[in-house]
Amino acid sequence: MKAAVFHSVGTPMTIEDVEIDKPKGFEVLIRTAVAGLCHSDLHFIEGKYPTPVPAVLGHESAGIVEEVGEFVTHVKPGDHVITCLSVFCGSCEFCMTGHLSLCGNPKVKMPPGKAQRMRWKGSHLNQYLNLSSFAEQMLVHENALVKIREDMPMDVAALIGCGVITGYGAVSHTAKVAPGSTVAVVGCGGIGLSAINAAAIAGAARIIAVDKDPGKLELAKAFGATDGVDAGEADYIKKVVDLSNGGVHYSFEAIGLKATAEACFSMLRPGGTATIIGMIPVGQKIELMGAAFLQERKIQGSMMGSNHFRIDMPRLIEFYMQGRLKLDQMISGRLKLDQINEGFAAMAKGGIARNVIMFNQ
């Protein structure tokens, strides 16, 4: 199969012929249809997060089942599926208490470098986040995917696999946004737009989009934002506080920066909650005013939107089919696999929501 191989930080990915194993046990072989270019991948490409190399990156994808291992029960060949890096075991403490996205059982969520599923030039090729979707095929555990209805377009279905479920889940599961509340979302890329959309679905009364890009602020309105604030202005935090009559009930950081994480906490009203969705670089610390905690302001993290993806993703598809979940507007461009480096260069430059790799182009 063809795959984009990541060699090292600062080196472009190359398109190579790669070998992949046949499924066994609980494994499923998938023919990749679409893979989204996610900002999380860019963090690894830029070296902000480590991963063993050489590797095939990619984790936001949809495809069709080709073969299954002897113990697989959830899917069969021909099924349409969405993948998710939140592979779960179903039996650990986290899974049994409903926190599937925190499952770390190495039997299903193998640590970086451990999966022995791909080879390149006769040597081990690392699988990324137990998925590696920048390839024509993926070999994954059955608990890393969910079956979906066949009339769901694959290009937008892939977006649900990471960006959408992460933004939606942060609002609906991690923060549990209440109807009639005020919300601010800092960063209007794919995850931020999904958080805005989720807040609208949840019935938030005021949803304030915050970004430096005027185009993204305008796009945010299509996803449910009632107001837009330019993050490039020095007093943008005050503007959010003023718009929400003393601060928001909920704020969401969807970039992964120290400054924006601190800003999300600063724009809260007493009793408000800031949820950090973005991947703040390893070793980076954030600073908060201690006195703010006396008014019961809270800050928390969110791992993949605290998702229950086998329940959430089919529901999100129904929202899309009803016109309530905006996915078509999120796709900035459809690329071929050999355009992947151009796609990430565009992402690093800014101004786009999501590019996707189409494997049947």
Domain with CATH 3.90.180.10 in the chain: 2-162+306-358
Whether 265 shows a pLDDT value over 70: the answer reads yes
Mean pLDDT calculated for residue range 143-169 = 97
Q: Tell me what the mean pLDDT of segment 288-301 comes to.
A: 94
- State residue 57's pLDDT score: 98
**pLDDT at residue 242 is higher than 70:** yes
The pair of structure tokens assigned to 19 is: 């070998």
CA dist 260 and 252 (Å) reads: 9
Q: Cα 302 vs. chain centroid, distance in angstroms?
A: 11
Average pLDDT of the residues in 164-189: 97
Which residues does 4 contact at the CB level (< 8 Å), separation at least 6?
13, 14, 15, 16, 56, 57, 58, 134, 135, 337, 340
- Give mean pLDDT, residues 76-97: 97
pLDDT of 361 > 70? The answer is no
Q: What integer is the mean pLDDT of 192-210?
A: 98
Give span(s): CATH 3.40.50.720, the chain: 176-301
Average pLDDT over residues 261-266: 98
Q: Which residues contact 283 (CB under 8 A, 6 or more apart)?
A: none
Condensed to tens digits (0 to 9), the pLDDT of residues 10-22 reads 899 999 999 999 9
Q: List C-alpha distances in Å: 317 to 37, 49, 150, 151.
A: 20, 31, 11, 10
Q: 69-73, 133-137, 188-192, 240-244: lowest mean pLDDT where? A: 188-192
pLDDT at 222: 95
Residues that are catalytic: 38, 40, 43, 59, 162
Query: By percentage, how much of the chain surpasses pLDDT 70?
Result: 100
pLDDT at 246 over 80: yes
Q: pLDDT at position 352, please?
A: 81
User: % helix / strand / coil in the chain, to the nearest 5?
Assistant: 30, 25, 40
The two beta strands, 27-36 and 354-358, are: antiparallel
Tell me which of 93-97, 150-154, 348-352 is least confident: 348-352
Q: What is the CATH number of domain 2-162+306-358?
A: 3.90.180.10
pLDDT tens string 267-287: 999 999 999 999 998 889 999
> So what's the pLDDT on residue 127?
98
List CB contacts of 81: < 8 A, sequence separation 6 or more.
28, 30, 62, 63, 64, 65, 75, 145, 146, 147, 148
* More confident: 85 or 39: 85
| Confidence tier at 351 by pLDDT (50, 70, 90) | confident
Share of the chain above pLDDT 90, in %: 94
Residues 220-244 have a mean pLDDT of 97
Whether the model clears a pTM of 0.85, i.e. scores above it, the answer is yes
For 30-43, the pLDDT digits (tens) are: 999 999 999 899 99
- The matching CATH number, chosen from 3.40.50.150, 1.20.1260.10, 3.30.43.10, 3.40.50.720, for 176-301 is 3.40.50.720
pLDDT band at 67 (very low <50, low <70, confident <90, very high): very high
- Residue indicated by tokens 């109807």: 179
Give pLDDT, residue 267: 98
Helices (H), the chain: 39-45, 93-96, 154-159, 165-169, 190-202, 214-222, 236-243, 258-266, 309-321, 340-349
CA distances from 98 to 38, 173, 309 (A): 26, 11, 11
- The full DSSP string for 60-73 is EEEEEEEEE-TT--
